[in-house]
């Protein structure tokens, strides 16, 4: 997944400063990238309604 948006770079920096284990940090960033990929846009531009739709999509398509 090779997605580049300023908000994802900022999120990576934010997560890096947290006292999380490396796999957790990687997973958090991966999930934000999947969100950006799903909507084909910068995740910082998404509305609350779009996020709700995405969470519903994840629940309905969970295997």
pTM of the predicted model, to two decimals? 0.85
Q: What is the pLDDT of residues 11-52, one digit of tens each?
A: 999 999 999 999 999 999 999 999 999 999 999 999 999 999
Domain assignment present for residue 1? The answer is no
33 part of a folded domain: yes
Q: Is 34 a member of any domain?
A: yes
Domain hosting 16: range is: 6-60
Number of domains in the chain: 1
Residue 47 lies in a domain: yes
3-state DSSP of 1-62: CCCCCHHHHHHHHHHHHCCCCHHHHHHHHHHHHHHHHHHCCCHHHCCHHHHHHHHHHHHHCC
């Amino acid at each position: 997944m090779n997605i580049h948006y300023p908000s994802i770079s900022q999120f990576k920096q934010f997560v890096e400063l947290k006292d999380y284990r490396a796999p957790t940090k990687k997973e958090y960033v991966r999930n934000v990238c999947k969100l950006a990929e799903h909507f084909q846009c910068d995740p910082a531009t998404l509305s609350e309604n779009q996020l709700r739709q995405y969470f519903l999509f994840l629940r309905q398509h969970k295997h």
